[in-house]
Structure 1
Amino acid sequence: MLKRGKEQILIKSYSYIKEPLYPEIDLNGWEFELFNTSYVRRLKQLSHFGAGSLISPVVHSRYEHTVGVWKLTSYYFPDDNLARAGAILHDIGHLPFSHSIERTLGFNHHELTGTYLRDSEIEKILNKINISSSDVIDFLNTQNQITGTNETIGLDHLDSFFRDTYMNGGIVRLPKELLSSIDCSNKGIIADYETALYIMELVLMDHELFLSPQLLAADRILAEAISLHFEGTVDSNIAFLTDFELLCILKNSNISTVRDLVNLLMNNPSKVNIQSEITGNGIRFGVGKVYNKTPMVYGETPLTEDIEGKEILKKILNLKQEYELIIN
């Protein structure tokens, strides 16, 4: 039993609700149930790094990221059930390969999250702790400890920067060793100056990876294959596919160019031809936006007001370039 009368039963984290970056957190019974809904379990089959997961060492799923955001939220806000629920459910609207093909398929994962949250599978669990789906939707659509503010990093992106750089072998100090130097308010991350700068170094490192021409090209190749295969006719059920299911569809496309693009991406990425000169003879792609939030230092000043912080943000901004993909 997960509930005895009005008492909430804490259960130790199961082996499939673990990750290596943060201290262990005990689950409430209702959290265990949320993690085992079809919506959250599906996240295990969605690459957090998009098509970049096919060609890089960064292969964790949206599920591991979700566990991380939930652990951070629970660590800093142990008694905030709404925030803990929001952390578990914040990514359930993502499409296959996360952000890679969202625009191509014409969906918005925030809107899909709101739709999925209203499903009875989720709502009946939330109701056990007197929270409604609308409560979680309203929470996720505001600036809070998970989303951060326009200037300040929230727990969602903090986990992404920690996890991506950890998976790529670039992290020096494990996050669980840093948490004593990091705090969080309902406006986002607060840290001492040294730790805040280190976090920003990880932000830059992560940007240099996922905005590299090779990973941007991977997303663009996948998007091109999808555009050719579906030819503007997209069934709404596609949004709930997994990465594997979508790849199977593309690999078995009746359009040879689609099959060739998927084979190039999965089996021959070293043969992808990228050039910085824009000639108009290939497929143009580039950086649409960069992340320009920072931690707050001592809970008062965003690092955007600091000389070294500004320098890191300038380096991130300089990554905004355009390229051309030549497919022979």
Structure 2
Amino acid sequence: MLRPDGQLQEEKVFKDPVHRYIHVRDELIWELIGTREFQRLRRIRQLGTTYLTFHGAEHTRFNHSLGVYEIMRRMVENLEKKMTWEKDERLVCLAAALLHDVGHGPFSHSFEKVFQTDHEEWTSRIIMGDTEVNKVLRRMGEDFPARVADVIGKTYENKLIVSLISSQIDADRMDYLLRDAFYTGVSYGQFDMERILRVMRPQEDQAVFKHSGMHAVEDYIMSRYQMYWQVYFHPVTRSAEVILSKILHRAKELLADGYEFQQTPHHFQSLFESTMTLEEYIRLDEYIIFYYFQAWELENDPILSDLCRRFMDRHLFKYVECDPSEQMIIWPELQELFRKIGVDPEYYLVIDSSSDLPYDFYRPGEKDERMPIHLLMPNGSLRELSRESDIVESISGKKRTDHKLYFPMDLLLDQQEHGEEKRRILTLLHQQEG
């Protein structure tokens, strides 16, 4: 049972390279950290395949989730000096921050694309289902798990709490920018979080920021912009994601065709069949995926074997910039040429697109509408950030998209067979580079 005041006898502290220390004083938070579902996050990388580009990017969803909790703890501590709320609202904030990523699967977003799953749905199932997390949360009340799930699902009635964990400037984004910059060794993600927290002020539906802190918020927006294009959308990382996706697609196709695997994917075959149970999902992590990829290097199917070997040994696809409208003109010819040289274009010729909207003003009624960042002016009025900041205004509402064509250059440089076709392919690819 929880103590009457809900506090630990002695504060627990995690040493953290980003925030220096992560402080845990609430027994609820300490017990949530100890659950099997939360400990599972130690076995899921925060940045998926980015470790193949930036070798330091080995940090996990566990690291990040603790970091989001710590920022939220400090946010709440600061906001409580300027407002009052029920004690359990504070715990709803902290629990939601800690558990917001508990439903992520191996390689996160790459897995989601292949299996058409949503980590937020799995997060809700873990919080609401027959899990250790649910048992701990229910000690705060039978409705407490649902309240935490509603915050993460952005349906909680207190919109201020939702904005602290899910908005254009929130605890989640602040931690992953600082943490990902630290572990990848880049400087783009750095910004003055201390200043942002000091100028944060609570409003009814969201936190706003004193006008005097505008430049710290500008720096945050630009850091996010740079991190997406220099780290998150790095072309080498995307090459690894392409191969990862194609491995899973190939395994799914082979299962559907009745192929007899030497190493059948028992641990996640139900995911291919859309029948995975909550317990099966909780047992799934990147260690298991790596086991199968290594085993599949020895499979009789040449495509699955080759793709797994490429991923495990980092023999990735090369790429050229491409314009999708122009690419469609030569696409049929490229596909046919690949078939002639014995290379399946379904798995070895891939257009990958990435896009980002670094900041957006309010567009009511539009899909995925975003609440803008507001500045609290000296006279007490609110002004949307891009109305005051020329820097932010210059990128507001502007979606940037990048397209690249990925292919196995090593197969094209082998001139022993199909020399004429391979030279034609290289010519077409060179034309794409301009």
**The TM-score by the shorter chain falls in which range?**
0.7 to 0.9
Instruction: Write the mapping of 1:254-269 to structure 2, written as runs, cut at 5 A.
Output: 254=299, 255-269=301-315
Structure with greater contact order relative to length (CA < 8 Å, sep ≥ 6): 1
Summarize the alignment of residues 1-328 of structure 1 with structure 2, pairs less than 5 Å apart. Answer: 3-5=2-4, 7-9=6-8, 11-15=10-14, 18-21=16-19, 23-56=21-54, 57-78=56-77, 80-120=90-130, 121-130=132-141, 132-142=144-154, 144-149=162-167, 152-171=168-187, 177-178=194-195, 181-183=198-200, 185=202, 187-188=206-207, 190=209, 192-208=213-229, 209-231=231-253, 233-234=272-273, 236=276, 239-240=281-282, 241-253=284-296, 254=299, 255-269=301-315, 271-277=316-322, 278=327, 279-280=330-331, 281=334, 282-292=349-359, 295-298=373-376, 300-305=382-387, 306-313=389-396, 317-318=399-400, 320-327=401-408, 328=411
- The structural deviation recorded for 1:181 is 4.2
TM-score by length of 1: 0.86
The gaps in structure 1 that reach 5 residues or longer are none
Letter in 2 for 1:326: F
- Tell me which moved more, 194-203 or 3-12: 3-12
SS in 1 for 2:352: strand
**Identity %, equivalent residues:** 17
User: Which amino acid in 2 is paired with 1:285?
Assistant: D
1:272 is displaced (CA, Å) by 2.6
TM-score, scaled to structure 2: 0.66
Cα deviation for residue 283 of structure 1 reads: 1.0
Structure 2: unaligned runs, 5 residues or longer? 78-86, 257-271, 335-348, 361-371, 412-434
Amino acid at match of 1:321: D
Q: Which runs of 4+ in 1 moved over 6 A?
A: none
Contact 2:18/2:178 (8 A) holds in 1: no
1:62 and 1:84 map into 2 onto residues whose CA distance is 16
Per-residue deviation, residues 148-196 of structure 1 (Å, max 9, x unmatched):
34xx322212211222122222338575654554526462563611101
Q: Answer whether contact 1:21 1:176 (CA < 8 A) is retained.
A: no
Contact 1:165 1:171 in 2 (8 A): yes
Q: Root-mean-square deviation (CA), in Å?
A: 2.8
* 18-27 vs 111-120, greater mean Cα deviation: 18-27
Amino acid in the other structure paired with 1:49:
L
Cα pair 2:319 2:406 within 8 Å, conserved: yes
Per mean C-alpha deviation after superposition, the further-off stretch among 6-15 and 65-74 is 6-15
Question: Could you tell me which amino acid in structure 2 is paired with residue 145 of structure 1?
Answer: S
Tell me the matched-pair count. Answer: 321
Given that 1:54 and 1:265 are in contact with CA atoms closer than 8 Å, whether structure 2 keeps it comes out as: no
- Asked whether the 8 Å contact 1:96–1:239 carries over to 2, the reply is no
CA contact (8 A) 2:293 2:312 kept: no
Query: In the alignment, is the contact (CA less than 8 A) between 2:354 and 2:402 conserved in 1?
Result: yes
| CA distance 1:295–1:262, change in 2 (3 Å) | farther
